Chain A
Amino acid sequence: MYHVLVVEDSKIAREAVERSLDRSAEYTLTASIENAANAEIICMRNRVDLILMDICTADDESGLDAAAKIKKYYPGIRIIMMTSMPEVSFLRKAREAGCDSFWYKEYGNEDLLSVCNRTMNGEQVWPTEEPVVKIGLTDSTEFTGRELDVIRLLAQGCSYDEIAEQLCISTNTVKYHIKNLLQKTGYRTTMQLVTEVVDKRMILPKY
């Protein structure tokens, strides 16, 4: 019997996850919470074998930060990250945080219980590809890593000079990336580009 902690701020999603776990006698629920920052506290003196962790949780607390802390103190706990956001950096950040598996709530076609079973059997279950979002005339997969860095900093409200400083490149190189981004997407201004990218949850500046 595995003891599971569910971290999910949407009531419907949380109930759906709990129903999935109910289908198997292998799992029992330790607790269901909305805020990822409280997960570490529960792990301190409760048996938790598996955490199903949403990334964007209540009060803007990040499931990725919480997962990294839990893995540091309790490396034996398996963590499956869950999200419905097509944010392009989430897969990489989840790997960096040491998570065991990753499940897209809306984009993947694998059942959550199957991901749980495979994870508890020692497998690491990761999506083979990230969700594709249409941004203007192009797809989210067409952006280079550097272009995504530039959009992310634009979305945080940075000026060209601030972006150049943070990425250790010249302001002219920032302008070059922005010119390419506008050409690819067909937008006239960076404001249109950033609004679309944030609106479609391809980049979430708070996470």
Chain B
Amino acid sequence: MKLTLRRRRTYAKIIRNAVNSYPGGLAFAMPDGRVILSNHAMNELCSRLTGHAVVNVYSTWEELREAHPMTIPKIEGEPEEPDDSTSEKLLFRIGTSEIWQIRKTEEEFEEGRFLQLTADDITESYSLGKQIYDNHVRLTGLRERQRTLLKNILQINTDKELLQAKMRVHDDFGRCLIATGQALENPDGTDLQVLTNAWEDAILSLSATAGLSNRPEKSQKDELLKAAGMIGCRMEFLGVTPNSPLFYAAVREALTNAVRHANADCLTVQTEERNGIFRVRIAANGTAPTEPITEGSGLSNLRMRLEKDGGSLQIEYQPGVVLCAEIPVTP
């Protein structure tokens, strides 16, 4: 019996030495949290963070939670770690440069359960992960800038051309005015033909600039009303009309369908705005369909365009066809 006890003590000593020689922190506890074994590294780490060695895994874990752990940088869209509800982890910066991860898990062993606390120095992998995260943030910013730049580049170029044209007109007229002023002060020393040519050039330059703007002369609504008028269809707009190409695409689709299939000559467009979303109902007179309409390519394309921008499309029968759309409009 004595020999067995001594042997058990020897084994325990060997195990303790082995666990202490492990470079990371390691502790095992009963399911209620009482510690069975905790190595030097774990006790030292917990002492630095909570002021004492591990006594009870649960109470120590609560104290660790309040010892200002670091937040773990997370890249959006990155796959989640496998869900392990029995495992929790905390990250701590120790000193100026070391990063340690402490993980608490529930383990099973020979039909018994126990708690395990492990601590690992993850300074290098954390630093690499941080670099990846920083690069990801930088690339996301770059891509966003690229998208904005591409979106605006044509308008920026047109504005630049307009500005250059305006400066040219300003210079031409300025020179002509100065030359005219001099001519009035000294009529004898002026070549009137040169002055006349200068004014003609300036006026020509101004005429060329008049057509440079790429902004539509007519509003979307005016031209649509003109086109509808040319096919004998009257349009009534009730409510505020959003200045959105999607809105006019929906009205055009309803108009062409109503004229083509129902021989309509009046279209009523009702709009109502709530929280940046326009609810649009477009109804037409004319002959009502005898059976539900099949959605052709026009309606399908409109639905796709609306849904791509976060809107929606519905067809109602009342008894004529009513096109109902939700259109998000950014200010």
**Chain A interfacial positions (CB closer than 8 Å to B):** 9-13, 15, 31, 33-35, 37-38, 40-42, 44-46, 58-61, 69, 155-157, 159, 191, 194-195, 198-199, 201, 204-205
CA distance A167 to B77 in the complex (A): 22
B82 contact set on A, CB distance < 8 A: none
Which of B208, B210, B223, B260 has the most A CB atoms < 10 Å from its CB? Answer: B223
A42 touches B230 (CB 8 A): yes
B211 touches A38 (CB 8 A): no
Contact A41 B228, CB 8 Å, known A11-B210, A59-B248, A198-B153: yes
A60 contact set on B, CB distance < 8 A: 245
A11 touches B217 (CB 8 A): yes
CA distance A15 to B227 in the complex (A): 19
Interface of A is mostly: helix
How many whole Å from B138's CB to the nearest CB in chain A? 13
A58 touches B252 (CB 8 A): no
Per-residue 0/1 for B131-155: is the Cβ within 8 Å of any A Cβ (1 yes, 0 no)? 0000000000011001101100110
Task: Identify 20 new A-B residue pairs, CB closer than 8 A, beyond the known A41-B255, A44-B256.
Answer: A11-B217, A12-B212, A31-B226, A34-B217, A38-B223, A41-B228, A41-B231, A42-B230, A45-B259, A46-B230, A58-B216, A59-B216, A59-B248, A60-B245, A157-B146, A194-B146, A195-B149, A195-B150, A198-B150, A198-B154
A12 contact set on B, CB distance < 8 A: 208, 210-212
A199 touches B153 (CB 8 A): yes
B224 contact set on A, CB distance < 8 A: 35, 38, 41
CA distance A44 to B232 in the complex (A): 10
Contact A41 B245, CB 8 Å, known A35-B216, A59-B216, A195-B153: no
The contact size tier of chain B is 35 or more
How many whole Å from B105's CB to the nearest CB in chain A? 34
CA distance A194 to B245 in the complex (A): 26
CA distance A93 to B109 in the complex (A): 69
A61 touches B245 (CB 8 A): yes
B248 contact set on A, CB distance < 8 A: 37, 59
Per-residue 0/1 for B202-239: is the Cβ within 8 Å of any A Cβ (1 yes, 0 no)? 00000010111010111010011011101110000000
B216 contact set on A, CB distance < 8 A: 9, 34-35, 58-59
Interface of B is mostly: helix
B298 contacts chain A at the CB level, 8 A cutoff: yes
A42 touches B223 (CB 8 A): no
B162 contacts chain A at the CB level, 8 A cutoff: no
B259 touches A157 (CB 8 A): no
CA distance A45 to B265 in the complex (A): 12
CA distance A31 to B249 in the complex (A): 20
Per-residue 0/1 for B46-72: is the Cβ within 8 Å of any A Cβ (1 yes, 0 no)? 000000000000000000000000000
Contact A33 B150, CB 8 Å, known A45-B259, A59-B245: no
Give the contacts of B245-264 with A (CB-CB under 8 A).
245, 248-249, 252, 255-256, 259-260
